[in-house]
Structure 1
Amino acid sequence: MNAVTPPQHLASVVNDEIDLIQLAHALWRQKALIIAIAALVGLIGLAYALLATRYYTVQSVLRPAAIKDLDELNHLGIYKLSPKQAMAQVGAALDSYENRLSFFRKNEPLFAVLAQPGRSLEQTFESFNDEAFKLLQPDAKKGESTTTPFVGIQLTYPDGIDGVKVVNEFVQHSINGVRQQIAADLDILIGNRLNQLDRKIAAARASYEAGKEIKIAKLSEADALKRAQLNDELAALRQQLKTRRNNRINQLNEAIRIANSLGISKPTTPSSLGAAEVATQGSVIRTEVNNQQIPLYFMGTDALEAERKALLARRSDDFTEPRIAQIARELKLLEHNRQIEVLNSRENEDLFLKNLAGWREEAARLRALKFDTASLKLVSIDQQAVEPSAPIKPRKALIVALALVLGGMLGLFVALVRHMAQGHRVTA
């Protein structure tokens, strides 16, 4: 079964519809007020859009330099810098707070419009830096390719500041700062390399001096040892010769006594001594074959005493031993070590240092390095800052449109309030 609408509900709906139609008629009767309020608010918005401080944005984009631009720097052999590394250093300088503050201090007239009473230079720059500068880099999240890297700086600035000049000069300031840093790094690296070479040369000299002293000490020690051994050998030989001479004298004394007892005064032989008592007739020729050594006393007292006298009168036995002459020769040679004399007589000992020529050549090359970093091209300026065609703020059309919308809403509200107020007075 179909539901039946109560008569009271139908009356309520009809009354609501009548009230809305009356409200629309009432608002329409006040359309002039609504339009006036909307126009007034729109004029206020237009005035704000015309009078508000204009903000502009400019940017400069840098890309890696060509390899040939850094070839001379890399050919120095002490500093290596690729185009991407150079661009990264410039990008770091663009993003550096200290570098921005330095540029701000050096170019205060460019930022005179920002000055405010009661605020220091650093406070003024802090506020401007946070809002104005933006570093541009490839963003992988936005699909920007990293195969063609770039770096840049974007500046948003109010009317009254020469933003184009600020950006372009700041870029040059950053590039010059990196150049100065490279020049300082080169000076430090060259100085460190020269100091290393000086230390190597000093160490080589010290090593050479120590080696020479060790060599001289070894040679002197060897000579002293040889001299002591030769002197010991000489003393031993002389003692041996003296003992041999004394033994000979004792042998002669004993032989003289025996010869005297046998009455032998002249040299003889055992067979001759025995045949002296046998009478012989005619000429006799004797031949004696004997493999035994004939005793010394058979030399006879005359010869024995003469030899003993000579031995007793001898003052030196050196001439009887050839080795003594050899020792004397060797001792004479040891009086002067010519190798030590040559080592001590060297006037320019650096000539004998190993690798000295290469070190000196390297030091001369480093001292002769004259690289002008002022002309070094670190990056390629792909886009310089140019005068913007229009401000980014305020957006006049948007502000006026919003003002008209808000004005219309305010006008409707005022008209609605007036209608309700009039209805209340009629009821009263």
Structure 2
Amino acid sequence: MTEGYVEEQLDNRPNNSDEIDLFDLWDDVVENKVWVLAGLLGCIILAALYLLRATEIFETQVVIKPPSDVHVLELNPPQLSATKLSSKGEAVIYEDEIFGLTAEQAYQEAQKAVLSKEYRKAFFKDHIPVIEEFGTVYSDKLLMNQNFANFDRLFSFSVSNAKKDTEQFTKLSFEFPDSQESAELLNAFVVYALVKKLEEIKTTLSGKVQAEILNLQYQVDKLKEEYKGERNRTLLLLNEAKHIAEKVGINKPAFDKNQVLTEEPPLYMYGSKALNAEIGAIKNRDSMAKDLSFGEEYFIEGVSQLLYRIDQLKKLEVDYSKVKLALIDEEAIPPTSPIKPKKLLILALAGVAGLFGGIMLALIMAAFKRHKEARRRRALKRLEKKNG
């Protein structure tokens, strides 16, 4: 019994050799090649089934570039530019620019628009009926903000590098499960963003024009009030001087016009006749003003220029249909092939994984067979010794 036990332990002892016989491994793989083929075909079939069920993703893009000066000409009319209005070549009445937008500034505004998450969210809400048809993008189980987050991730952007690129551009890329809809949605978004930004500019321009009109009108009213106060004061002084001249009997100027005076003589010394004429001229301005374009305001220094400025601003018309904040250099077109899933790559990876998996199965099965064979031999030896 002791001898049999020792032999059994010797048979079960591990092989301490670190050497691996590659030829034995190759023989094991060849002998169990069915498992290699099974692993390879199994992974490829699973990958193919995945590709058949996977949602295809298409990518399209739009490229915008800066406009030329002619495209923003309507936003820079002379009425809005820096202007100096003066009366008799003296004090400046107006010198600030009301509004102006260069081609570069227009492009920057357009760039902000197409990169704006706020605009994308507004566009998303307006196009939910189209987007909700695609379950991978929209789900009724999610909140509005969650659905928008999924939609927003479909956009990607790239901007030209001044050091590397010769031209300025902004590229918008969009991924979507439908080829035709991807192009239509991206084109619609770009137009939506540019129109929205132009509406903001229109509102800003209109607001600044109205604010300037109110400011100029305030200046006009202020000058008119000052004029009326000065007019009444002048009439009072002239009437007072006329009364004094009549009292002292001065009808004509009481000084020689050719005489050099060291100081201005009192008004009454001009004589009642001259004073009456001056009073009459001031009072007759009302009737004279009827024949003038700006009425009595013509006599107020600076008012006529201000009123002309107001009139020009009120008549200002901007044809926004001629304005382009950016040029669409490349419109989105329906892509002919999806970018996801990458079929060849997935099949290749599945093949590699299946091959390795199959080899591992083959080696495991070979090891299992050797183990069974070893146990069978040990059992036979024990049986022979027992019978012997």
| TM-score w.r.t. length of structure 2 | 0.72
Which residue of 192, 196, 202 maps to 2:211? 192
**Structure 1 equivalent of residue 306 of structure 2:** 359
Q: 1:393 to 1:41 in 2, by over 3 A?
A: same
Q: Give matches, 1:7-406, under 5 Å.
A: 19-78=21-80, 79-112=99-132, 113=134, 114-129=137-152, 131-139=153-161, 144-145=164-165, 147-159=166-178, 162-219=181-238, 222=241, 333=272, 339-340=278-279, 342-344=281-283, 346-347=285-286, 348=289, 349-406=296-353
Deviation at 1:41, TM superposition (A): 0.6
Segment of structure 1 superposing worse, 131-140 or 192-201: 131-140
User: Can you give the 5+ residue segments of structure 2 that lack an aligned partner in the other structure?
Assistant: 1-14, 81-98, 250-267, 290-295, 376-388
Cα RMSD (Å): 3.0
Q: Counterpart of 1:388 in 2: which secondary structure? A: coil
Q: How far apart, in 1, do the equivalents of 2:17 and 2:217 lie? A: 108
Q: How far apart, in 2, do the equivalents of 1:18 and 1:119 lie? A: 57
Q: How far apart, in 2, do the equivalents of 1:167 and 1:127 lie? A: 16
Q: Is the CA contact 2:65–2:170 (under 8 Å) kept in the aligned structure 1?
A: yes
Deviations 1:127-153 (A, max 9, x none): 210x2112231135xx632x4111231
Q: Percent identity of the aligned residues?
A: 25
Deviation at 1:395, TM superposition (A): 0.5
Q: How far apart, in 2, do the equivalents of 1:73 and 1:408 lie? A: 67
Deviations 1:130-186 (A, max 9, x none): x2112231135xx632x4111231111223770100111111111211221222122
Q: Is the CA contact 2:79–2:313 (under 8 Å) kept in the aligned structure 1?
A: no
Q: How far apart, in 2, do the equivalents of 1:380 and 1:159 lie? A: 26
Segment of structure 1 superposing worse, 35-44 or 18-27: 18-27
Q: Is the CA contact 1:91–1:152 (under 8 Å) kept in the aligned structure 2?
A: no
Q: Is the CA contact 1:49–1:394 (under 8 Å) kept in the aligned structure 2?
A: yes
Deviations 1:369-405 (A, max 9, x none): 2222133223221101011121111000100110111
Q: Is the CA contact 2:79–2:312 (under 8 Å) kept in the aligned structure 1?
A: no
Q: How far apart, in 2, do the equivalents of 1:161 and 1:148 lie? A: 29
Q: Counterpart of 1:162 in 2: which secondary structure? A: helix
Q: 1:160 to 1:383 in 2, by over 3 A?
A: closer
Q: How far apart, in 1, do the equivalents of 2:24 and 2:357 lie? A: 20
Segment of structure 1 superposing worse, 368-377 or 165-174: 368-377
Q: 1:116 to 1:396 in 2, by over 3 A?
A: same
Deviation at 1:226, TM superposition (A): 7.0
Deviation at 1:340, TM superposition (A): 4.0
Q: Is the CA contact 1:50–1:396 (under 8 Å) kept in the aligned structure 2?
A: no
Structure whose CA Rg is larger: 1
Q: How far apart, in 2, do the equivalents of 1:136 and 1:160 lie? A: 21
Q: Counterpart of 2:141 in 1: which secondary structure? A: coil
What amino acid sits opposite 2:111 in the alignment? G
Q: Which has the higher helix share?
A: 1
**Structure 2 equivalent of residue 264 of structure 1:** none
Write out the 4+ residue segments of structure 1 that deviate beyond 6 Å after TM superposition: 13-16, 224-228
Deviations 1:299-323 (A, max 9, x none): xxxxxxxxxxxxxxxxxxxxxxxxx
**Structure 2 equivalent of residue 283 of structure 1:** none
Deviation at 1:196, TM superposition (A): 1.8
User: Can you give the 5+ residue segments of structure 1 that lack an aligned partner in the other structure?
Assistant: 1-12, 232-328
Deviation at 1:63, TM superposition (A): 1.2
Q: How far apart, in 2, do the equivalents of 1:350 and 1:31 lie? A: 107
Q: Is the CA contact 2:66–2:325 (under 8 Å) kept in the aligned structure 1?
A: yes
Q: How far apart, in 2, do the equivalents of 1:69 and 1:406 lie? A: 58
Q: How far apart, in 2, do the equivalents of 1:73 and 1:420 lie? A: 83
Deviation at 1:50, TM superposition (A): 2.7
What is the count of residue pairs matched by the alignment? 313
